[in-house]
Amino acid sequence: MSSRARVLVVDDEPDVLGVVNAILASAGLHIVTAPSAEHALGILQQQEDFALVLSDVRMGSGLSGPQFVGKVKQLCPSTAVALMSGEAGHERIDPQIAFIQKPFRARALIATIEQLLARHRELSARNRTNVEETERLVTELQAEIHLEEEVNRKIMKSLAAKPAGEDV
């Protein structure tokens, strides 16, 4: 992986955090770990520049993975999210959220994360293009409005200067 994308990994099992951290760091990613959804939300509130948040579905206490992901989407809407679980059936939680089944092989995890980050980069680039185009259109509309206002002022001034009853 060429970029040093920042990934927040959330799991209440320290061994899983350690393994995922080691795998993804070996792929050149900058990894930050959190032992709970609540701790991860604190990190996200201080540092919103994560490309991806990867969370376990079931954590011991507090928010579940899907609840946490919902909060991440509200707090950092441009951050990609994925869930992982060792239990079957969770892959159908939300088809819009990537799912990684545990246990996983290092190469498979890296490949999945690379795909998610590539998609994130693509969407971010599209978003930047859309923002730039929107800003350009707003500038054009403001110029047109200004021109129309100027024309209307001149017409009003012209009307005010004409004697009553005279056609414009």
Residues 66-100 as b or e (16 or more Cβ within 10 Å = b) = bebbeebeeebeebbbbbbbeeeebbebeeebbbb
Q: Predicted confidence band at 93 (pLDDT cuts at 50, 70, 90)?
A: low
Q: What's the pTM value of the predicted model, to 2 decimals?
A: 0.74
Burial class (CB in 10 A: 0-12, 13-18, 19+), 122: exposed
Alpha helices of 34-105 — where are they, by DSSP H?
Answer: 37-46, 65-75
Model pLDDT, residue 165? 64
Q: What is the DSSP letter of 3?
A: S
- Domains for the chain: give ranges and CATH numbers: 6-125 (3.40.50.2300)
Kind of pairing between the strands at 98-101 and 80-85 = parallel
99 by DSSP, 3-state: which? strand
* Span 107-164, pLDDT tens digits: 999 999 999 998 888 887 888 888 889 999 999 999 899 999 999 998 888 888 877 6
Question: Which of 91, 59, 53, 56 is closest to 72 using CA atoms?
Answer: 53
* Nearest residue to 94 (alpha-carbon basis) of 102, 103, 86, 85: 85
Assess whether the previous peptide bond of 66 is cis (omega < 30° from 0). no
Question: Is the pLDDT assigned to residue 38 strictly greater than 90?
Answer: yes
Contact 69, 55 (CB under 8 A): yes
* 1: number of Cβ within 10 Å: 14
pLDDT tens figures, 3-35: 588 999 999 999 999 999 999 999 999 999 999
